[in-house]
Amino acid sequence: MSDSKKIDATAGPLTYDDVRSVSPALEYYTRESLLGGLWKRPELSPRDRSIVTVASVIARNQNIEMPVHFALALDNGVRPAELSEIITHLAFYAGWGNAMAAVAVAKDVFHQRSIGIDQLPPAKDKLLPLNEEVEKQRANQVGNNFGAVSPGLVQNTTDFLFRDLWLRPALAPRDRSLVTVSALIANGQTAQITYHLGRAMDNGLTQAQASEVLTHIAFYAGWPCAFSALPVVKDVFERRIAH
């Protein structure tokens, strides 16, 4: 890529010249360590890296990064319906405001690529089958622990998230888990990682892939977020090996 072109996977509308004019070192790390190194590591596919990055930039409301990463995700095999569903999912896991900020960017990307509403998931769709036993255990545990503290939150968690959102077919369970874990790490929500990382691995995310998510997110959410998640991820790995 020449210096006159946009940075493919990092700084949105900024060129290499723009970055170099402020920080020659950052421009160097962008080219060599990020684009020339991280994105070429084989532990995650380009599609997975795009999913992780999109989840991170939405979770952290990094608007300048959104246009280039939404476009890159589509180029890397994320379908328009999947990108749409990632935004919907993150309304619940990163907040409505962050999802709406992503909508403001995605609508322009969709328009530029002639992506119409016929390519997007419907508001209501036939849901995936629910594992009643697993969901009953989850609901009982949360209800017993927190039902007296916030019954509304506990009930909405069951009704809106685990009996609706998580069963929407536009995003495969494994990818939905990947989005959730990525957003939790990116936002430093370590208390929630244990459950959702376990669920992600039950949904098909491998230990090697989960490990690489930490490596990738360190660049997009910062090393402290990745390192804060390390002890929790280590504990999940060790518990699964023990069992």
List, for residues 194-219, the tens digit of each pLDDT value: 999 999 999 999 999 999 999 999 99
pLDDT of 6 reads 45
Domain assignment present for residue 142? The answer is yes
Residues 44-65 have a mean pLDDT of 97
Cα angle vertex 16, ends 13, 18, to 5°?
Answer: 65
pLDDT of 226 reads 98
The larger pLDDT score, comparing residue 13 to residue 47, is at: 47
Domain assignment present for residue 89? The answer is no
Residue 89 clears pLDDT 60, i.e. is over it: yes
Number of domains observed in the structure of the chain: 1
Domain assignment present for residue 150? The answer is yes
Domain assignment present for residue 162? The answer is yes
Confidence at 79, pLDDT banded by 50, 70, 90: very high
Residue 196: Cβ-neighbour burial (10 angstroms; 0-12, 13-18, 19+): buried
What does the alpha-carbon distance between residue 158 and residue 142 come to, in Å, rounded to a whole number?
9
Domain assignment present for residue 192? The answer is no
List, for residues 105-130, the tens digit of each pLDDT value: 999 999 999 999 999 999 999 999 99
Confidence at 48, pLDDT banded by 50, 70, 90: very high
Residues 69-96 have a mean pLDDT of 98
Q: Which residues are within 8 A (CB) of 126 and not within 5 positions of it... i.e. 6 or more apart?
A: 169
Q: Domain of 163? A: 130-170
Domain assignment present for residue 39? The answer is no
Domain assignment present for residue 23? The answer is no
- Mean confidence (pLDDT) of the chain: 94
Residue 11 clears pLDDT 70, i.e. is over it: no
Domain assignment present for residue 217? The answer is no
Torsion from C-alpha of 188, 189, 195, 196, nearest 10 degrees: -70
Confidence at 243, pLDDT banded by 50, 70, 90: confident
Nearest to 130, CA basis, from 165, 158, 163? 163
Confidence at 49, pLDDT banded by 50, 70, 90: very high
